[in-house]
């Protein structure tokens, strides 16, 4: 399950993670989920902005030798309930992970394409950064979007922690 969630930009667990502290990144309802877990005797800590960037709010769960298999089963059931509550789309019968970032599928597709553009440009440069003007040119050519839309989407990607801007109008992948 964690591998699938990692691939969907929902959960930051890695399969080879050796730490007993696991952060689950939720882009909404973080504190509500943490409160519900605590009420069900699952100790966790909700961490929100400004401690972490907006859009990267998380719940930290620590695993220790005192946990039993039943504890993990209960946590899994509660976690699944919240996935169903937040992400399940009854019309399509699928989980809509776009709801986490409040991005439409179309917007998420554009953001994914911008990430590809940034990757392509930054890999061709020694500083591994992509100038915004080059991103805008490529986005206009490939996606038909103007500079204002590119700027809005870049800032959304930045808030989501997928890119950073170490210098004005220069972007890199995180």
pLDDT digits (tens, 9 = 90+) for 51-68: 887 777 888 887 777 878
Token pair for residue 3? 């591998």
Q: What share of the chain has pLDDT > 70, as a percent?
A: 82
| Cβ–Cβ < 8 Å for 98, 108 | yes
pLDDT at 1 over 70: no
Burial of 115 (0-12, 13-18, 19+ CB in 10 A): middle
Q: Where in the chain is the domain with CATH 3.90.1150.10?
A: 2-99
Q: What is the pLDDT of residue 12?
A: 40
Return d(Cα 171, Cα 174) in angstroms, integer: 10
CA 135/CA 116 separation, integer angstroms: 10
Say what the pTM is: 0.48
Give the residue range(s) of CATH 1.10.10.10 domains in the chain. 105-173
What's the CATH number of domain 105-173, 2.40.50.140, 3.90.700.10, 3.40.50.10470, 1.10.10.10? 1.10.10.10
DSSP H/E element including 75: helix 69-87
Which CATH number among 2.60.40.1120, 3.90.1150.10, 3.30.56.10, 3.60.40.10 corresponds to the domain 2-99?
3.90.1150.10
- The predicted pLDDT at position 57 comes to 83
- Of the candidates 12, 1, 5, the one whose C-alpha atom is nearest the C-alpha of residue 55 is 12
With H, G, I as helix, E, B as strand and everything else as coil, classify residue 9.
Answer: coil
């Amino acid at each position: 399950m964690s591998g699938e969630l990692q691939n969907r930009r929902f959960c930051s667990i890695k399969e080879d993670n050796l730490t007993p502290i696991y952060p689950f990144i939720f882009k909404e309802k973080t504190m509500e989920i943490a409160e519900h877990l605590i009420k069900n005797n699952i100790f966790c800590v909700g961490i929100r902005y400004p401690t972490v960037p907006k859009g990267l709010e998380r719940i930290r769960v620590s695993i220790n030798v005192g946990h039993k298999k039943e504890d993990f089963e209960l946590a899994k059931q509660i976690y699944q309930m919240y996935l169903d509550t937040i992400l399940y789309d009854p019309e399509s019968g699928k989980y809509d992970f776009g709801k986490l970032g409040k991005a439409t599928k179309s917007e998420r597709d554009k953001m994914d394409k911008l990430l590809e553009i940034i990757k392509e440009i930054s890999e061709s440069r020694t500083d591994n950064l992509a100038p915004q003007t080059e991103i805008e040119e490529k986005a206009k050519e490939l996606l038909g979007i103007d500079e204002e839309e590119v700027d809005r989407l870049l800032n959304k990607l930045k808030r989501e922690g997928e890119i950073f801007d170490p210098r004005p109008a220069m972007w890199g992948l995180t």
